[in-house]
Chains A and B, each alone.
Chain A
Amino acid sequence: DAKTTQPNSMESNEEEPVHLPCNHSTISGTDYIHWYRQLPSQGPEYVIHGLTSNVNNRMASLAIAEDRKSSTLILHRATLRDAAVYYCILRPSYNTDKLIFGTGTRLQVFP
């Protein structure tokens, strides 16, 4: 299973942008890059996913490096509600449908 590497924790102030990095140097050409987050005492929540191009949605943006060996989840203006554990997950496009969660990045947001 393809592996990802994320910092254990990051901090931000409210209303500032947050850039959450993820390294995935062993990514294969057909792996999708997914991001989920888990707020305290809740189930994981889908944030965004992409394959090669940068992606935007109402929650966040995903910037994917040209060689696809790394990606960055961008929260444009952090709120207190964004405090969560953020997981970067590689999801193969063939033969398996499971998500393999790592330990993620715990994001703290300060008022």
Chain B
Amino acid sequence: EPEVTQTPSHQVTQMGQEVILRCVPISNHLYFYWYRQILGQKVEFLVSFYNNEISEKSEIFDDQFSVERPDGSNFTLKIRSTKLEDSAMYFCASSPGPLGYGYTFGSGTRLTVV
């Protein structure tokens, strides 16, 4: 069964450093998403991306965050200057279409900011 692949599985970074989280969505999917889950809390929406642009973002997704689809296969989330409160599991997801379709999520990247 096709999978969404995320790398790395665990990233440790110092506060203030930039991190890039990488995702390879399912190849024929057109809609891409990032979610995060702080330990012990709910899964939270960050951003959705379609046709090479952001279609929706949450209040969490401020100027420190950016997304990019640099080529036909990768989808990245960049955090410019990490804070301690950015420590969380970050999940990438993709979907073949909007709204009426289910998402496929990756296994996540655990980001630890020290």
Contact = CB atoms under 8 A, between A and B. Distances in A.
Interface string B22-58: 0000000001010100000011110010000001101
B75 interface: no
A102 B45 CA distance: 12
Contacts of A19: none
Nearest to B57: A98
Interface of B is mostly: strand
A101 B42 contact: yes
A94 B99 CA distance: 7
- Which interface class (under 10, 10 to 19, 20 to 34, 35 or more) fits A? 20 to 34
Nearest to B99: A93
A6 interface: no
Contact of B43 (A34, A38, A46, A97): A38
Given A44-B43, A97-B56, A32 B100 contact: yes
Given A98-B48, A101-B44, A46 B104 contact: yes
A46 B55 contact: no
Interface in B71-106: 89, 91, 93, 98-100, 102-106
B82 to A, nearest CB: 21
B59 to A, nearest CB: 12
A43 B102 contact: no
Contact of A102 (B42, B55, B56, B91): B42
6 contacts: A43-B93, A44-B43, A48-B102, A93-B99, A97-B55, A101-B43
Interface of B: 31, 33, 35, 42-45, 48, 55-56, 58, 89, 91, 93, 98-100, 102-108
